[in-house]
Structure 1
Amino acid sequence: MENLYRQAYEVLTEQQRKEVLESLATRRPGLKLQRFESFDRFGMRTETAVYELDGAEFVFVPGDTVTLGWESFADGLDADTQADMDQVMEEYDISDLTSFLESMMSPVRTMTVAPMLVERKLHEIGWHRVAPDSEVMVTRRSDIEEFEASPYKSIIKNKQLRLSRSSTGTVVEEYKPIAYAALIQTLQEQGYSLPTEDEWEYLCGGGTRTLWRWGDSIPYDTHLRYFEEAALKGTPYDMELPNQFGLHIAYDPYKYEVVDAPCMLKGADGGSFICGGMGVALGYLPVATYFQSPDDTFDDYKADIGGSYTRYRKVIRL
């Protein structure tokens, strides 16, 4: 078990590391090692393996004792990010930037995070594909025909029916509410868990002390260039690329990630800051590693954790 923690894991020889990674495939029926892979991002690197289980990819993330939470800048803001934040501070009469940011971050603490297998990509919650012989195909036929005659690639009708195009025809999906507690119970019955807040912050930043997982400043060159240049459309957005553990995480301020913790939601604010005119830097503050959504967000999601703004990933603790 000691070799699954970073301090011991990183001093293993390549052969020893592969033997450890191969042994993990025996921990759960159906788990298959697909390939050994290295992920290098934002100055951090992990030699790991990619596994397949139930049609999804998982990566091994070594355990570690790390400092989590935020109270001050590690590197400081660059000129562009400082100017962006200064403008918003003046507009909203914010007198002290550090205190303002700290009020929205998790507290600083030192935690030991156990090793785990982590799903690389996120799942939607509550949407289910409708079978061709379902009653929905009859009762909502007019909506389906209207969509098929439209130029749209996808639409959502009354928050309950989603229609989209595919190479084989129209995809019809129905939304069924699911409570937060029910989602956790369902995953547990399947042998999975949601990450806790501590685990999520570690998976996102790997213990980095900067505001975002990539640093204390917004990469305006790649961020704005992506939205301005048509040639980049359809290509991976820089923030969407895998992080140092091989995870696609904290890249969209509109999409919360559900965690098993009192805070419930991490990595987004549903787009509130961006839509509220907070500029680019503060608009993307909710994807900061240690950002905590305000408590008044939680009650809205306890009865129904799904919808357009929430996603989840599964973890297997080792």
Structure 2
Amino acid sequence: MNFYDVLDWSIWKTLAKEVKVQVISQLLMYFVSPLKKVSHVRYKEFALDGIKCQTFEFQIDGEWFVFIPGNADTILGWDAGISGIPITAWHDKLENETKQVKKIIQNYQLKTKDDWSTFINESTSPLRKKDMPAMFVQKYSQPIGTSYIGYFDLITGEFNGKNAAFQSIEKEFQAAFSAPKTFEESLTWQQPKTLYEKNKFYAALNQTKEVYEIYTHQLCSFHELKEQLNSQVYELLDEDQWEYVVGAGSRKLFRWGSMVSCDTPVQKEFVEQMIAHENMFGLLFSSQNNGWELTDSLNLKGEKWERTGLSLLDLLPQASYYRSRHSFDRDEQLSPLDYVYRKAIIIRSE
């Protein structure tokens, strides 16, 4: 059997753990640059909506990656409209009629099942079949133009990470970072989700860990990002690869299944947990519609819009096959507040 054959999911899942350890060791040796440090390699099992994958996650230069097995004849895209979606998801009461919603309703009406089906099909990529290679994929997306340097602990007020890099932006970070000055302020005050100074730093609040994850920042265009990644022996996922690593080729609109109604507290909590949960490959995606993820094409994933109260419309950017209508200039310098990307190493036999 060809070595690359065992990287197909159909064979990979039948291998003993000991064999998988040997395979991943060889892959890390031959496909990761010897100038990069690989650490914290650990065997993991991820599962979502009945799909399970035994794989490995590890760090490359301090950033988490996951091994994703390939899959021949993977079906991608969507043409089934709202098939499998409960009526309550698209028949909710509109609570916030934004400019985007007005435009959508003007074009599609969104009154009947057929209206919604047409809108969903035109908001997703076309149905197609592709052979997917095995990949190393960054577990978290990161803002464009940024380099991760560490985290600032909100409890201790201490920075952990690359100290020299933090010292170069510490003054600006401390000026942007604030805390309540009185007891009364502390009752209603909340830490901002992001702190940003152009060409200096970008910081994102991790509420679970009570830290700011801190990056240095330099304005960057799509073309410049590609050049930077190539120089580091990384790539951007193309649209086919992106859709595969999100939904594993499952024939459901959302990676977690068809539960999208949020008309009860239990349903809302379940959907929120599924969005925030690692997917079947161990990757994490933004739970907020607060920007776009770049692919190696003009097609963007995710969206930036306000909640409307219509469950299906609010959750649609989370769909595995969603394709944003937003366009951008590849030579334009892109803001880290709007655009993120995900590093990948594609394992090719040629």
Distance 1:165 1:279, change over 3 A: closer
Superposition map of 1:114-193 within 5 A: 114-127=133-146, 132=167, 137=171, 144=175, 147=178, 153-154=191-192, 156=195, 175-193=217-235
User: 2:279 & 2:176 partners in 1: Cα distance?
Assistant: 42
Tell me, what secondary structure is at the counterpart of 1:11? coil
Cross-structure match for 2:297: 261
**Corresponding residue of 2:334:** 305
What residue ranges of structure 1 are gaps of 5+ in the alignment?
A: 228-235
Deviations 1:230-263 (A, max 9, x none): xxxxxx9431111000100253322321111121
Q: Show the counterpart of 1:11.
A: 14
CA shift, 1:290, in A, is: 0.8
Deviation at 1:86, TM superposition (A): 9.5
Aligned residue number for residue 269 of structure 2: 225
CA distance in 2, matches of 1:278, 1:156: 28
Q: Name the CA shift for 1:78/1:133 in 2 (closer, same or farther; >3 Å).
A: closer
Residue 280 to residue 165, structure 1, CA distance change in 2 (3 Å): closer
Assess, with a 3 A threshold, how the Cα gap between structure 1 residues 305 and 279 changes in structure 2: closer, same or farther: same
Gap change, CA 1:85 and 1:3, over 3 Å in 2? farther
2:280 aligned counterpart, secondary structure:
coil
> Match for residue 324 of structure 2?
293
Q: Would you say the 8 A contact 1:39–1:243 is kept in 2?
A: yes
Q: Secondary structure at the match of 2:55?
A: strand
The one-letter amino acid of 1:297's match is: S
Range with greater deviation from structure 2 (79-88 or 10-19): 79-88
Q: Which residue of 2 aligns with 1:243?
A: 279
Residue of structure 1 equivalent to 2:63 = 56
For residues 147 and 298 of structure 1, the distance between their equivalents in structure 2, rounded to whole angstroms, comes to: 34
- Structure 1 contact 75–216 (Cα < 8 Å) conserved: no
Structure 1 pair 162/204, CA: closer, same or farther in 2 (3 Å)?
Answer: closer
How far apart are 1:171 and its partner, in Å? 9.8
Structure 2 CA distance for partners of 1:303 and 1:203, relative to 1, 3 Å = same
Residues 53 and 164 of structure 1: is their aligned pair in 2 closer, same or farther, counting only changes over 3 Å? closer
Would you say the 8 A contact 1:212–1:289 is kept in 2? Answer: yes
Following superposition, the deviation at residue 194 of structure 1 comes to 1.0
Amino acid paired to 2:130: M
Residues 188 and 22 (structure 1 numbering): CA distance in 2 closer, same or farther, change over 3 Å? Answer: same
What does residue range 34-49 of structure 1 map to in structure 2 within 5 Å?
A: 34-49=41-56
Whether contact under 8 Å (2:177, 2:195) holds in the other structure is no
Unaligned segments of structure 2, at least 5 residues: 150-164, 182-188
Secondary structure class of the residue paired with 2:10: helix
Please tell me whether the aligned partners of residues 153 and 164 of structure 1 are also in contact (alpha carbons under 8 angstroms). Answer: no
State the distance in 2 between where 1:12 and 1:173 align. 39
Query: Which SS does the other structure have where 2:91 is aligned?
Result: helix
- Please list, as runs of the form range in 1=range in 2, the aligned pairs for 1:203-218 lying within 5 A after superposition: 203-218=245-260
* Aligned equivalent of 1:194: 236
- The alpha carbon displacement at 1:21 in A equals 2.3
- Letter of the 2:277 partner, please give it: L
Q: Taking structure 1 as the reference length, what is the TM-score of the superposition?
A: 0.79
Instruction: Tell me whether 1:22 sits opposite 2:32 in the alignment.
Output: no
Higher strand fraction (1 or 2): 2
The answer on whether the counterparts of 2:176 and 2:195 sit within 8 Å (CA) in structure 1 is no
Equivalent residue, structure 2, for 1:230: none
Deviation at 1:223, TM superposition (A): 5.9
The percent of aligned pairs where both chains have the same amino acid is: 23
TM-score normalised to structure 2 length: 0.72
**C-alpha distance 106-40 of structure 1, shift in aligned 2 (>3 A):** same
Residue 157 of structure 2 is matched in structure 1 by none
Query: Is the 8 Å Cα contact of residues 56 and 67 (structure 2) preserved in structure 1?
Result: yes
Spell out, residue by residue over 1:119-141, the C-alpha distance to the aligned partner (whole angstroms, 9 max, x if none): 1112122357875466x94xx79
Cα distance in 2 between the residues matched to 1:173 and 1:60: 24
Q: How many residue pairs get matched?
A: 298
Equivalent residue letter for 2:344: V
